[in-house]
Amino acid sequence: MSSANQFGQLFRVTTFGESHGSALGCVIDGCPAGVLIDVAVVQAALDRRRPGQAAWMSARKESDKVEFLSGVLDGVSLGTPIAAIVRNTDARSGDYKAVDAALKKGETPRAGHADDQWREKFGVSDVRGGGRSSGRETVARVIAGSIAQSAAQKMVPDLRVIGFSSEIAGISLDAAEREEFYSQFFSMTQGASSKAVGAADGFPADSYPARIPSAAKASAVEKLLVKAVADGKSYGGVAEIAVLGVPRGLGQPVFHKLKSDLASAYFGVGATAGLEIGAGFNATAAEGTEFHSSTKPSALESPYGGTRGGISTGEPIISRIAFKPTATVMDLAKRGRHDPCIVPRAIPVLEAMTWLVLVDHLLWQRLDRI
């Protein structure tokens, strides 16, 4: 039986640590031997999600420097458990004394947070930055996801996962902007090996504020979020994750459908409020003979979302993940260190979770038949 802190079946990841504890990290069990583990690549992945990258992001100053404790020698996985940590260096636990005092009185001092839920469930809770329910826990997932990517691309070199913000606070990409973004990515990576695709190519949305790939809309979003910090307001949005170069046959037909495991991965990220894969909710208004015809709406996307019967078809898998507004607002937000919108920093986490699902199913596929 797996624990509630573990994700994956064959490539198993256990995360540990709290927002204001001494460190956070992960233990990976099931990573095959011979996978290249480049510390610089893992660090680059962590740098993409760390705070302080923009004026409107959390001002917490963490270098998020990764340390490998086991399972890696001379940059190669040994096939033994891999343990890695990131130490906390800028925790301000004293900021949460009032929250703790209010909880002890039976009050709910931070609307939208789960402090009271945790205390009711376990009898005790770590209110320092939300403890284990903090978004800071995701540093462990990003470490594991980076290693999962290395393992997955060793098996399928052309496999790609890219993410971007498609909507923030009601400011959304239109169909032409979305298509242009994908066209640029395809032109950058056409004919390139996985080694040749670096951060600039693999993460093209990172060059835009808030990772929304439209110069005009990125500027509007940035202004909105800077003002949100001053006003103590917060906003939600939508992240889009695309899996490209997917081999056929990933996924199991019943309890571990590929799309159900992706859904579990995405809903396990804090503040996730909804998910669409493929046609999503638009499928409910479609007529069957049209929906199930062989004509696709575009070369990029099928109405089934790249899976049928829970198994990948080889087509791109496009997911749209909705996030609610950040829970900390008004005076608490003005005094603390919080993001007014979670979406931009959630994207590296969603990508990491996608890689964890993919590597698990790639390994599983090797066991499906002799």
Highest mean pLDDT among 77-91, 258-272, 280-294: 258-272
Question: How do the residues of the chain divide into helix, strand and coil, expressed in percent and rounded to 5?
Answer: 40, 20, 40
Average pLDDT over every residue of 234-238: 95
**pLDDT of res. 334:** 59
pTM: 0.89
CA 323 – CA 348 distance, rounded (Å): 14
What is the DSSP-derived secondary structure letter of residue 73?
Answer: E
Which helix (H) or strand (E) segment is 206 a member of? none
- As a whole number of Å, the end-to-end CA separation of the chain is 26
| Three-state DSSP state, 84 | strand
pLDDT, one tens digit per residue, over 327-352 is 776 666 656 667 889 999 999 999 99
Cα–Cα distance, 282 to 108 (Å, whole number)? 38
Q: Give the Cα separation of 233 and 229 in Å (integer).
A: 6
> How many Å apart are CA 291 and CA 305, to the nearest integer?
12
The percentage of the chain sitting over the pLDDT mark of 90, rounded to a whole number, equals 58
Would you state the pLDDT for residue 92? 63
| Residue 269: pLDDT band with limits 50, 70, 90 | very high
Most confident region among 180-189, 206-215, 276-285 by mean pLDDT: 206-215
Single-letter amino acid code for the residue at 307: T
List, for residues 65-111, the tens digit of each pLDDT value. Answer: 999 999 999 999 999 999 999 998 866 655 666 666 666 666 666 67
pLDDT of 196 higher than 90: no
pLDDT at residue number 60: 63
Question: By the 8 A CB rule, do 361 and 258 touch?
Answer: yes
The domain defined by 6-365 folds into Chorismate synthase, AroC fold (3.60.150)
Torsion of CA 97, 137, 133, 324, to 10 degrees: 110
